[in-house]
């Protein structure tokens, strides 16, 4: 267990920005932290990095308390913030070397090879780079040290699709090499591609967590039906959450073996079924379903 949080909570004048976060991350896995804007994701990351003092609870990295022993905890972490603040009077190469020396890391021979993969000119002043190029320099300095734990806040912001794919490949490589990765993102397709586990945060609380297989278990089924008014449709609630659009009903967690039972129920209510289309549940389906359930 590399990262461990226990009842981690942060309040501001009675408002709980993060409420009772319990999270563990082990070496060799990628964990996604998901949630709408203002849900508490960035607060959680800042607590883990020792930038904020928890109101209650605690977090540890490699056994070091993230607040009381923050310097030792951060020696095990490489961090990409959501909002960049780089030393723009340096070149990319100077920045990577400077930050490596602060960490006490040996110089890596593959810096230039990694820079080529991200299409970065390390010898240009950072002040002359576009926002996307600055983001790539920041990513480079996160990947170069081979820290045990990578923490990335919205890492693909401003990256073009090719560079997004390259970053996801690098995160998989880091995982396969025994590093742990925690990253927040609002691009759910990317999370689904690379994460082993996911925690969904809303209003400061974790509302769901588990492996990707656990969260995406079951299938969505779209049914083209006629002859059912809203009162009769409400009687289909036993088959799980349903989204209605015209005469299309989409059951977002229905297992395939329950489809015959669903069709029989619709017919018994006087409805007519024209089409049944199974569809794999995506992370976006599950994410929206969880947020809708919280609202109700």
SS (H, E, C) 207-262: EEEEEHHHHCCCEEEEEEEECCCHHHHHHHHHHCCEEEECCEEEECCCCHHHHHHH
pLDDT computed for residue 5 by the predictor: 96
pLDDT computed for residue 189 by the predictor: 84
Here the tokens at position 286 are 């599950």
CATH class belonging to 219-280: alpha beta
Place of tokens 């932290």: 33
What's the rounded Cα separation, in Å, for the pair 263 and 276? 9
What's the rounded Cα separation, in Å, for the pair 71 and 34? 27
pLDDT computed for residue 296 by the predictor: 59
Q: What is the DSSP letter of 125?
A: B
pLDDT computed for residue 156 by the predictor: 87
The whole-number mean pLDDT for each consecutive block of 10 residues of the chain, a chain of 296 residues, reads 94 92 94 90 94 96 96 94 90 92 76 91 94 92 92 89 91 95 87 90 89 75 85 86 82 79 91 83 77 71
Instruction: Report domain extents, the chain.
Output: 3-213, 219-280
CATH of domain 3-213: 3.40.50.300
pLDDT computed for residue 196 by the predictor: 93
Q: Which residues of 64-84 are buried (b: 16+ CB within 10 A; e: fewer)?
A: bebbeebeebbebbbbbbeee
């Amino acid at each position: 267990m590399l990262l461990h949080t226990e009842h981690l909570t942060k309040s501001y004048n009675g408002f709980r920005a993060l409420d009772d976060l319990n999270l563990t991350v082990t070496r060799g896995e990628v964990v996604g932290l998901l949630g709408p804007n203002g849900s508490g994701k960035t607060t959680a990351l800042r607590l883990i990095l020792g930038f904020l003092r928890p109101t209650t609870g605690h977090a540890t990295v490699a056994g070091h308390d993230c607040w009381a022993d923050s310097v030792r905890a951060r020696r095990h972490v490489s961090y990409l913030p959501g909002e960049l603040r780089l030393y723009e009077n340096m070149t990319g190469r100077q920045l990577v070397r400077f930050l490596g020396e602060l960490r006490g890391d040996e110089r890596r021979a593959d810096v230039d090879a990694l820079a080529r993969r991200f299409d970065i000119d390390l010898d240009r002043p950072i002040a002359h780079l576009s926002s996307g190029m600055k983001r790539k320099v920041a990513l480079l300095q996160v990947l170069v040290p081979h820290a045990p734990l990578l923490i990335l806040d919205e890492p693909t912001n401003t990256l073009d699709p090719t560079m997004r794919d390259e970053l996801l490949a690098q995160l998989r490589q880091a995982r396969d090499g025994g590093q742990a990765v925690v990253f927040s993102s609002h691009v759910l397709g990317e999370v689904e591609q690379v994460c082993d586990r996911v925690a969904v945060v809303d209003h400061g609380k974790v509302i769901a967590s588990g492996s990707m297989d656990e969260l995406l278990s079951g299938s969505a089924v779209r049914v083209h039906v006629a002859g059912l008014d809203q009162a009769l449709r409400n009687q289909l609630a036993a088959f799980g959450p349903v989204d209605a659009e015209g005469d299309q009903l989409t059951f977002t967690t229905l297992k395939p073996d329950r489809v015959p039972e669903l069709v029989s129920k619709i017919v018994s209510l006087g409805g007519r079924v024209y089409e049944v289309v199974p569809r794999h549940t995506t992370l976006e389906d599950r994410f929206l379903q969880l947020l809708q359930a919280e609202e109700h």
